[in-house]
Amino acid sequence: MEPSSLSASNSEPNPGPPQGPTTPRQLSSIKAQLDLVLLALEALTGLGSDAMLAAADALGVSDLLSDRVNLWRLRQASPLRKGQGRKKLDVDEARALVLVSCHLAIAHRDPIRQAVARLEKALEQGQPPHRTAQLGDYLDAFSNAYQDRMEGDQTATTNEINTLGLKLLVDLLFYSGSGGSRKLWLALLERAEK
Amino acid sequence: MAAIATVTSYEYAAGTCTLRLVGELSPLSQVTGRPVLGRSRFSLQMYGEEADAAIAAATNQAVIFDVSGREPQFSALAGLVQTYVQRHLNADALTAGGAVSQGDSAIQPVGLTRHRLTLATPPEPPKIVELSTLQLADLADALEQADGNLQIIPDHALPKTRWVRPKLPLWIGSIAAVGIAALLGNQLLTTAPSSVVLSPSEPQTTNESTRQLPPSSSQQPTQGDAPAVDSPAAESVESPSAAGEALPTPTTTAPTTPAAPATRPTDVTPKTSPPPSATSPAPATSNGTSPAPDAPPQAEARAGGAQLARPDSNTAAEPAPVPTSPSADRSAPDTPEAFEASPEIAATRAPDAALDWVAALRQALQQQWRSPANLAAPLRYRITLEPDGTVETLEPLDDLSATYQDNPTLPQPGTTIPGIARDESTTVEVQFLPTGEVVVELPDS
C-alpha cells in the first residue's frame, strides 16, 4: 500500500502575505516546518547531517534516513527549497524526521535552555536579542542558512527570518522536554490545517 | 477480607519545577504496566530560574510558587498547561497562542516570553504567578513526566462503597445496654420493680456518648469503612470538591495519614505486593487506641478526630480520621494534606516525615536503577535497611527477581544508600520497573 503522501502541501493555496508583523508563514507547511526545525538545531548547535543520521540509527529509523542523500532528499521536499526531485514526504518519513529532531533537541537541551534564558533576559532588559553573543551567533547562522537554502522563498526579510528563528528556538525548548515529539507532531498537524 | 492499600509517592523534577504525587497504588498497576494511583494528592513547587530544582528543594530556597491539591485539581492544572503549551507551539508567532482558561484558572502570555498563570484556589484568592518560558517548559515537562509514567484514577471514577454500618455503634450499643442494665439494676435495688420506668432522660450518659456518633458518622459516612478500608475499592469516595473548584487548597481532611504506620518502623512487617493482608479494626486499635470499653473517651476522641478531619466545615468528607483506625488512614491519601500544614493537623507531621523518607528512598534507588534492556516485568524485592541506610538484605520475591538479584544497579547488601538514615532498621518492599521507575512500599503496621 502506498504510504500516504504529504505532497498535498505542494498544492496548498498561496499562504498570502503575513497576517501581522510576526507571523512566520513558513510554518504553514508540514514539510517546511520539519526542515526548519532541523535548520534551527543546526544553527544553534552546529550539528550536521552526521548527527542526524546517527540519531536516526539510534532511533531505529535508519531505513528511512539511511544516508546523506536520503536525508537531503527528505529535507528538499520543503516548498521553501528550490530544486528538482520529488517533493513528497510520506507519513513514515515525516515521523522519522520528528523523532530525529526531538532526539537531537533533547541531546542539546542545555544550549537550548541557555539560549532561551538569554533571550528572556535580553527581552526583559529591552535589548535586541542579537546583541547577546549566543543569540547573535544563532540568528546569524540561521539567517545565512535560510537564505542559502530556501531559494524558493525570495520574499523573506531579515526581520522575518530573525522572528522565525526566535520562534523556532523557543519551540525547541518544548520539543526537548518530555513528550516533545508528540508536541511537534501535533503542531505540524495543527498548522497544516490552516 | 479487603486488601490494604499501598500508599506511594512519586516525585518529578524538571529544571525549576518539582512535582510530587502521593496516592494509593491500585492493584490495576499489575495489569497496566505502570503505576496506577487512586485518591491522589499533588504538590507542586516552582523555583526561581537561578536555582536548580534539586538543590532548591533540599534547601527550600527560592520557591516562587507552591500549590497542592487533589486529583481533580491536578488534572485541571495539567490540562491547562498542556493545552496552553500546545497552542503556543501551534501558533505562528511567539505571542499568537493566546490565553487558555479552564474555569477560573487561566494562563495567558505576557510579552513575548512570559506567561501569567492564574490558579483558582477557592475559598482562598486565586494564586497568580508569572512564569518565564523556561519555567513554563519545566512545568510542562514535569506534568508530562507524571502523565507518561503514572495513571491517575479520577476521584469520581473510584467505586462508591456501600455505607457499612459503623462497627463502633455496635459496641457503643453494648455499652449502652450495659449502662441501661446497670441503671435498671440500680433502680431495681432501690425501687419497686413495677415502678421502673424508662424515661428518655434515663440513660443520659450513654445517650450522650452515642449522640456523639451521629455527627461524626454523618460527617464521615465512610467512617465505618475506615476499618474496612483495607481495600482501596472499599473505601468510600469522599465527596469530591465542587466541580467548579479548580485548585482548592487541601484545607480539609484527615489528619491521620497513610503514613501513620510508616511512623512506626518497629511495626514494619513484610508485606506482599498489592493485595496486602487485610486488617481488622483490632490491629488498628493496637496502634494505641482501644475501642472496646471506653466509650466516652473514644467518643471524645472521635469527636476530636472529627474536628481534626473537618477543620473546614465545607470540606469534602474524608475517610474517617478515626483514631482507632490508622490502618484506614493508611489507605487515605491524606498525607498530601500535610503539604498544607495547619495547626489542626499537626498530627500529620510524623506521617509526613515517613512519606519524606519513602520519597527519599525511592529517589535514591531510582537514581541508581537501570533497567536491563530485556526486562519485561517489574522486579520485586524485600529490602532490609539498617538505621544508617546500609542494605542488610535484598530478598527477591519472585523467580524473575531472583534472576536479576545480582544486577549492580540494585541496592546490594553491604552498600549504603545515602540520605535515608532512620532511627531503626526498616524493611520495605520495592518494585523496580522496566520503565526505570521505582516503587517503594512501606509495609503496613
pLDDT tens digits for range B335-351 = 444 444 444 444 445 55
Per-residue buried b or exposed e for B338-360, using 16+ beta carbons within 10 Å of the residue's own CB: bbbebebbebbebbbebbbbbbb
The pLDDT assigned to B169 comes to: 62
pLDDT at residue B113 is higher than 70 = yes
Q: Is the pLDDT of residue B133 over 90?
A: yes
Q: Which residues of chain A have a CB within 8 Å of the CB of B111?
A: 123
Predicted confidence (pLDDT) at residue B190 exceeds the cutoff of 90: no
- The shortest C-alpha distance from A77 to chain B (Å) reads 21
DSSP notation for B306-347: HHHH-SSTTSPP-S---TT-HHHHHHSTTGGGGGS--GGGGG
Contact in structure between B127 and B247 (CB atoms under 8 Å): yes
- pLDDT score at A50: 94
Contacts of B148 in chain A (CB under 8 A): 178-179
H helices present in B96-193, as ranges: 133-149, 168-190
Instruction: State the average pLDDT for chain B.
Output: 68
Interface residue ranges in chain A relative to chain B, Cβ cutoff 8 Å: 19-20, 22-25, 27-28, 113, 116-117, 119-120, 123, 163, 166-167, 170-171, 173-174, 177-179, 183-184, 186-187, 190-191
Domain extents in chain A:
26-192
Contact list, B140 vs chain A (CB under 8 Å): 174, 177
How high is the pLDDT of residue A36? 94
Instruction: Over range A127-131, report the average pLDDT.
Output: 89
Q: Is B137 on the interface with A (CB under 8 A)?
A: yes
Name the closest residue on chain B to residue A187, using Cα atoms: B90
Give the residue among B14, B36, B50, B22 at the shortest CA–CA distance from B139: B14
- State which H helix or E strand residue B392 sits in: strand B391-396
From the list B14, B88, B133, which residue is nearest A120 (CB)? B133
Q: Quick one: average pLDDT of A22-49?
A: 83
Nearest CB partner across the interface for B94, out of A28, A166, A183: A166
* Residue B133 at interface with chain A, using a CB cutoff of 8 Å: yes
pLDDT category of residue A27 using cuts at 50, 70 and 90 = low
Q: What is the pLDDT of residue A176?
A: 94
Dig out the grid coordinates for B107 from the structure: 494562563
Q: What is the pLDDT of residue A172?
A: 95
Evaluate if residue B182 carries a pLDDT over 60.
yes
Least confident of A138-142, B64-68, B368-372: B368-372
3-state helix, strand, coil in chain A (%, to 5): 65, 0, 30
The count of other CB atoms within 10 Å of the CB of residue A187 is 24
Task: Residue A16: list chain B partners with CB under 8 A.
Answer: none
What does the pLDDT read at residue A3? 39
pTM beyond 0.90, yes or no? no
Secondary structure letter of residue A152 according to DSSP? T
Mean pLDDT value across residues B140-149: 92
pLDDT, residue B161, reads 58
The sign of the torsion formed by the CA atoms of A26, A131, A122, A126 equals negative
Q: How far apart are CA B137 and CA A171, in angstroms?
A: 10
User: Mean pLDDT throughout B415-432?
Assistant: 87
| Percent of chain B scoring above 70 in pLDDT | 53
Q: What is the pLDDT of residue B118?
A: 92
DSSP 3-state assignment of B117? strand
The interface predicted TM-score (ipTM) is 0.77
User: In B, which residues are within 8 Å of A23 by CB distance?
Assistant: 92-93, 96
pLDDT > 80? residue B106: yes
> What's the number of CA atoms in the CB half-sphere (13 Å) around residue B164?
18
Give the count of beta carbons closer than 10 Å to the beta carbon of residue A128: 12
Q: Do B144 and A177 touch (CB under 8 A)?
A: yes
Å between B22 CA and nearest CA of chain A: 21
Preferred mutation among B110, B113, B437 to probe A, highest tally of A CBs within 10 A = B113
pLDDT for the residue numbered A39: 95
CB contact under 8 A, B90 and A190: yes
- For the ranges A28-32, B111-115, B124-128, B142-146, the one whose mean pLDDT is highest: B142-146
Position B131 scores a pLDDT of 93
Residue B240 reports pLDDT greater than 50: no
Q: Which range has highest mean pLDDT (B125-139, B206-220, B262-276, B285-299)?
A: B125-139
Per-residue confidence (pLDDT) for residue B271, from 0 to 100: 42
Q: Which three cell numbers stand for residue B29?
A: 498497576
Residue B201 above 80 pLDDT? no
CB contact under 8 A, A173 and B89: no
Has residue B374 got a pLDDT over 90? no
Max CA distance (Å), chain B: 96
Asked whether the predicted pLDDT for residue B115 surpasses 90, the reply is: yes
Per-residue model confidence (pLDDT) at position A142: 95
